[in-house]
A and B are shown apart, each in its own frame.
Chain A
């Protein structure tokens, strides 16, 4: 099962990477990215960044695709280390509205491209992530590469949908446990919700979330999910005291989610990501649901 995911990500990354590096050298594009989603999108466009922010936590939140060893850490995205940034001599810096207060300083270094994915008015995240990918590609002159990447991504979503179609796939609620009493639940217009729609899985959580795609709830609110077949998918990291505490809760024990097989834990997936993160989620979820069906 994991084989299919690896193959996909590798084919996407490798196919794009090899000619891309040649391209980046030929045009001398030195790009620094201040957002995980944009960084992984750059990899898929075949133009690995020279530096990214928060490199140290990449393996904890993004995991895949792997970064080339040549990428330099430029500090946290809120406090980009300008001394390092200057030394990298970038041609282009990619940023998001979230980091707008850095904008004037970044612009004094070099050209800056500001891509909007998470804004109050941007609507469904997956759609705006695709739009941002196209916009980025247009600025880099890599339109065809982007179309290929997005087409591959859509094909992969379609494959997932077909793999799950006809199977007895339950609706799922997606959460990160904050502590033994609270969780974040992911829903419309979030990235994960968008993926669920594409691969034909129903989100068991009907509520609307904030524009980042999540909502903070007390765990008892999970009882709002009425469907007795619904499955709960929690992402790592789960705080160590959550499950022992929940086991003591009669309410939790009566929720459909506490029935054997109705709760599973997936490896971390970046909830504030772009198309690559959506692919990783789709792949992990499809594998998981297939295994269960």
Chain B
């Protein structure tokens, strides 16, 4: 009893402190409305400051409390049932799924919105949860693969939603606001409906809380005690998803509260699952309450519109980085089909075929296009030289970027032994995006200035990843998770910038969607040179790449400096990603597809795989660029977006096929 009481003291104090701080901050918001005397003449029929207090300020504070509690409870449940300290509605992609569903519906089936924004968002979050948790179940709920697939899904949904918005609605930015999570209210409808939903789920939690505690004993222990693990997990995950979906559909994406609150609860002393599940919602409520009141005070001073959700994500995602060392990871040896002693002609054939395919694609892409009336036209006549001069830089740059991304993907997949590793996941692309965002909003330089900022951003992320992962000797999983946590943060910053409705946000979207549009001959040739140098370096390191996937022990046994070689390889992959992202954007997923297709073609060893991946990746980008350029001519769909549209389903198939 005494131990348990002491365990409860810490979380109670923290919750009290946060609630008091929030109370004080919100007092400053409420006080002006209370101090004004009630309207002396009631003939006007209303008293504005009071009305705002009763129907906007107070509901907003209540929503912050309830949403914070619900998200924290959701996070605590996820973390408990998945035995994963990083799980949270944001990291599992639930919120982003809702966001994407909303965007798609409002663009293509606006009638459905009238029926209910909430229902649409619920369907989206349900689908996202089904995908991520379904894949997780196949992989035995491995904490790492679950969060990785969740975050990838999250980024993809977020990116796609933003780009769809950009392509369709130049002047109306409502979806940016919604996606970034705003708590502003005009009535009690949202807090009231949220609170009964929260109560309902909390009751269910009360029922499952005891068997849930047994999960800590480990699978065999709890099975021995007669707990039906599968049912328990299903109920708990369903509760957690429902909570997150309710909040997300009501107020948008509020990032990372579900991660932060349970973590604080644990750090302040809660040990048992019951304590975690009891105190997390209280601390979460206090946290969001405090954050939103402070934000209202600050934003009021700035006179700017700041969405709460994006701001919490900016402060929450670094915590994900800080938590990484707590995640227990064991190294998994890459399960590669060991078709050793491949005959040389069987190796050569696939390479010859993909190289031939690449040349063919380049030729088609250079020679065909659409004319003024939208008809297909073969390159000919007097204007041929001019048009060729427009096309070839795009084709070359697309090819070079695709090849670099694919080789970077091959390196990362070999280093991590993980199918889902790809440069998009490393966060380098996100860093470059961030650099461009800063350039656009703070400095507004020309085109070359934007390039410079993108490079600086990419390298900042790279160095953060290196420093945060150095302690672990660049354990592959941590590097990837660090990267994706940074991507999430950058995403949130971009969300804040976009939701101000500033038309410059559209430029950022354009850049993120991976358009080869601004490539000129000079940048295309420098891209090609960079690609040749970096890919050659990767080829030269083929021996390392053959040995590193076998695990630390064999590498050390043959005298390979483990930390240094990993550092070098990650650095190389990072450089290639940065260079490629500058032209095709952060979302292409070519780095994922290239190496996989190469392996499917039978190229398993490092060098053949990288050659194949480079050709396939280059070909994919050239094809994506060609399709994007011609399919809705004179309008153009960015190459990065076209390849992401192919890449994401590919990713889903991959995740469901390659079990273990």
Number of A-B contacts (CB under 8 A): 152
Contact B55 A101, beta carbon cutoff 8 Å: no
> A81-B636, A241-B113, A241-B116 provided; 9 other pairs, C-beta below 8 A?
A74-B634, A84-B371, A86-B386, A101-B446, A176-B171, A176-B172, A226-B48, A244-B114, A254-B45
Number of interface residues of B (CB under 8 A): 60
Alpha-carbon distance A180/B251, docked complex (angstroms): 11
Q: Name the segment of B67-75, B395-403, B495-503 touching the other chain.
A: B495-503
Distance in angstroms from B624 CB to nearest chain A CB is: 15
Choose one: A56, A240, A271; the contact of B114 (CB below 8 Å). A240
A284→B369 CA distance, assembly (Å): 43
The stretch among A147-155, A160-168, A186-194, A214-222 that forms the contact with chain B is A214-222
Q: CA–CA, A87 to B369, complex, Å?
A: 13
Q: Is there a chain B Cβ closer than 8 Å to A19's Cβ?
A: no
Report if B364 contacts A (CB, 8 A).
no
Give complex CA distance A215, B502 in Å.
Answer: 9
The dominant DSSP class at the A interface is: mixed
Residues from chain A with a CB closer than 8 A to the CB of B135 are: none
State the CA gap A216–B305 with chains docked (Å): 6
| A273: min CB distance to chain B, Å | 11
Give the segment of B182-190, B408-416, B570-578 that binds chain A: B182-190
**Are B635 and A76 within 8 A (Cβ)?**
yes
A181 to B371 Cα, complex, angstroms: 45
* Cα A83 to Cα B369 with chains together (Å): 9
Chain B residues closer than 8 Å to A101, beta-carbon distance: 446-447, 450, 507, 518
Q: Take A73-B634, A79-B510, A244-B114 as given contacts and tell me if A251 and B186 are in contact as well, using a CB distance cutoff of 8 Å.
A: yes
Which chain B residues have a beta carbon within 8 Å of chain A's beta carbons? 44-46, 48, 51-52, 54-56, 106, 110-111, 113-114, 116-117, 170-174, 177-178, 182, 184-189, 303, 305, 369-372, 383, 386-387, 390-391, 446-447, 450, 499-503, 506-507, 510, 515, 517-518, 520, 633-636
Evaluate contact between B636 and A216: CB separation under 8 angstroms. no
In the assembled complex, the CB of B297 is this many whole angstroms from the nearest CB of chain A, namely 15
Question: From residue B101, how far is it (CB to closest CB) to chain A in Å?
Answer: 15
Chain B residues within an 8 Å CB radius of A237 = 172
| CA gap between A159 and B370 in the complex, in Å | 48
Set B45, B174, B387, B500: member contacting A239, Cβ < 8 A: B174
The residues of A that contact B113 with a CB separation of less than 8 Å are: 239-241
- Using CB atoms and an 8 Å cutoff, list the residues of chain A in contact with chain B: 54, 56-57, 61, 72-76, 78-79, 81-84, 86-88, 98, 100-102, 104-105, 176, 178-182, 184, 207, 210, 212, 214-220, 223, 226, 228, 237, 239-241, 244, 246, 248-252, 254-255, 271-272
Chain A residues whose CB sits within 8 angstroms of the CB of B387 once the complex forms: 83, 86
Pull 18 A–B residue pairs with CB atoms less than 8 Å apart, ordered by A: A75-B633, A78-B506, A79-B515, A79-B636, A81-B635, A83-B387, A84-B634, A101-B447, A216-B173, A216-B499, A219-B184, A220-B185, A223-B48, A226-B48, A240-B111, A246-B186, A250-B51, A251-B51
A219 to B59, alpha carbons, bound, how many Å?
A: 14
State the 8 A-B residue pairs at the shortest beta-carbon distance, nearest first.
Answer: A218-B184, A251-B55, A178-B174, A220-B56, A249-B187, A75-B634, A249-B186, A240-B114
Say how far A205's CB is from chain B's closest CB, in angstroms.
13
Residues of chain B lying within 8 A (CB to CB) of residue A57: 170
Q: Which residues of B contact A87 (CB under 8 A)?
A: 371-372, 383
| B184 & A182 in contact (Cβ 8 Å cutoff) | yes
**Contacting B51 at CB < 8 Å: which of A180, A223, A228?**
A223
Q: Are B187 and A250 in contact (CB under 8 A)?
A: yes
Known: A79-B636, A249-B189. A179 touches B177 (CB 8 A): yes
Known: A78-B506, A79-B515. A178 touches B114 (CB 8 A): no
Interface centre among B46, B54, B371 (most CB of A within 10 A): B46
Q: Report whether A179 and B187 are in contact in the complex, using a CB–CB cutoff of 8 Å.
A: no
A250-B55 in contact given A76-B635, A79-B517, A184-B501 (Cβ < 8 Å): yes
B369 x A248 contact (CB < 8 A): no
Q: Are B174 and A182 in contact (CB under 8 A)?
A: yes
